[in-house]
Structure 1
Amino acid sequence: MKIPIIPVIALAAITFAVYHVMTSQGPTSQAEPPIEPARSPYASKLAGAGIVESRTENIEIAAEVSGVVSELLVSEGEIIDAGQLLLKLDARDVQAELNIHESGLKNVLAQYQRLERMPRAEEVPPAKADVTEAEAEVRQAKDAYERQQKLNREKIGTDEELIAARSQLEVAEAKLDKAKADYQLVIAGTWEEDLLVTESQVEQMRAEIKKTQTELARHEVRAPTSGFLSENNEKKSVWEVLQINRRPGEYVGTPSVEAIIILADAGPRRIRVDIDEHDLPRFEPNQPAIAFPRGDGKTSYPLKFVRVEPYVVPKRSLTGDNADRVDTRVLQVIYEFEKSNSKIYVGQQMDVYIELSEKPDK
């Protein structure tokens, strides 16, 4: 008897299929998530995504002038004071100009002091001696002229000799007048107008130095001098260096494409929470809130309400969830961490839950 092969194979295939279906219908074991998701401690809640920020938000430091960084004086994570020097730009040309102006000021000051102290005690005796010498020459020339007149009356001298003697007397008298004038000039001291002109030159040189010093200071990048305004209206001026984008030898332009250094207030951190516009009717500002860092559902941070920024903006912070809406607008609410923690970083994203005073209507 011949056995049909094809029907036997078909029957075996059907039997295997039925067996496979029956054995694969058992309950499947559900795998545990690698990271425990955050769970809200509130029975009735609002959820939102939050970004950690400082109380002053990020302060993007820029330079007033362009140049090459010559010296970097801070590092990331460092706590600095208000007005502290952050970095220096190459300013050798400005420093050389300042040196020139300072030398010029010393020269003008020396000239002013010289004019102010005139006459010198050593200059008076020579001037007085010139007067005495000129007076003696006048007497000598006068005697010679009188003798020549007497000779001419006695018909002994000539008219040419008389004229020459009179000319010598006039020259001697002129020298005497000049010597007396020089003497009076010496003892009179400096002319007041000369002092005023020199004093004006001193002020001009000082203004040039001040201008160059200001230009030199513009090549130094410093931390802001005033920071977060506290509730007592006291300015807190302690900063933390978050990021440095320029190193020695790199060029800094004006305006810069990116911030040279990013600073933030070193006080307690805050978190900016996006509340979906669809949840705004249920939102209450002063309700308790709690934040969970991404990747750690067991660690929570209690939050304290600070303020609402009353301007609804397009949503920019995305959670990565498949159900995350990108065509919506959000209200940004600022909370502050009740306890400071070194593990909280500016720019970190967290899941935030806000308690509702009563359960929403179903």
Structure 2
Amino acid sequence: MHVLRNGTVVDADGTREADVAVEAGEIIAVGDVGYGDAETDVSGRFVAPGLVDSHVHLMMDGRPDVASAIAESDFEHAYVAAANLRAAVEAGVTTIRDLGAPSTLALDAGTAVAAGKLVGPRVLACGENVTMTGGHGHWFGREADGPDEVRRAAREQLKRGADVVKCMATGGVLTEGAQTGAPELTYEEIEALVDAASAKGVPTAAHAHGREGLLNAVDAGITSIEHGTFMDREAAAAMADAGTYWVPTASALFNIVDNPDAGIPASAMAKAEASAESFVTSFDHTAAEGVTVAMGTDAGTPFNYFGDIPQEMGYMVEHGMTPAEALEAATVNGAELCGLDDVGRVAEGYRADLVVLDSNPAEDADAWTDPEHVFADGVHVV
């Protein structure tokens, strides 16, 4: 039994002085804990749950032009994924959800982490994202047209063991020729995808920037909207009514906009700049309508590095959320979106995903920078 002694526990349930005892990857006690086989004194520090990033791309490395990776082999992508896993967990991220990678790359990464072959966060993955022929992300996705073909594409991912099924409801910033807000998959196609996933009890995610494609996805029963850049109040209200999660991925947009002369393709830069103002208002709409937010970064996109995932907390606070709300979005909300009922809190019976910080993350969004200790599923990583 390893005991974190004399710290202040902080999670979505509040702040309290308590020891935390960990054994066999599980939190077995929170409170006054007796002698442990190993002890770490965390006096004056804060013990928080590890972060859950609900939207990453393990095979991307933050290069300015992500499409240049199309010329690289799956072996090269796997090396990138291994490095990204290590960087993420050392930054205090203990669960990630990969929303698109070639073939079974991300699914295999999850298996490797679970087997102890790689050090990294717990990995949930969609396999290949489902997109229309020539649609956003087509170069690493599963192209499909029409409800029957989309249903088949979704079932292929489920057969591989997908934890979530992801589709492209609209165009995107990083695909040459795609219109960011324009609908791509139709309502009927998205409905077929949701139906296939629901039959297996698997959640769904939709890349959706524009209002029409976003509403198609919500009406079809999608579990989470990724990005939501051009969301208006009506769209936010529809999401709230349906219980649809929003994963903002502010890091993806601002790491493009903030690097104008760094080799990002001109078309992507123009689309990102045109999206920025609308994206900011999305936070206002979701707050007003009570949409549940789960933290996600789209890590791997230009200048959006896995080791910098905690910066998303600052972006969320900068755009109107409190640090406590950002903490909740990045822990319990993300865990619930991913279907995990034993992740995201510092409580008995939960997985021992723990981060020791110098300041209170419920009061300071920058507290996540440079954690002193990280435990991932009970393994003392940092």
Structure number, greater radius of gyration: 1
Greater relative contact order (Cα < 8 A, sep 6+): 1
Fold shared, TM-score > 0.5 on shorter chain:
no
User: Which bin holds the TM-score, normalised by the shorter protein?
Assistant: under 0.3
TM-score, reference length from structure 2? 0.20
TM-score, reference length from structure 1? 0.21
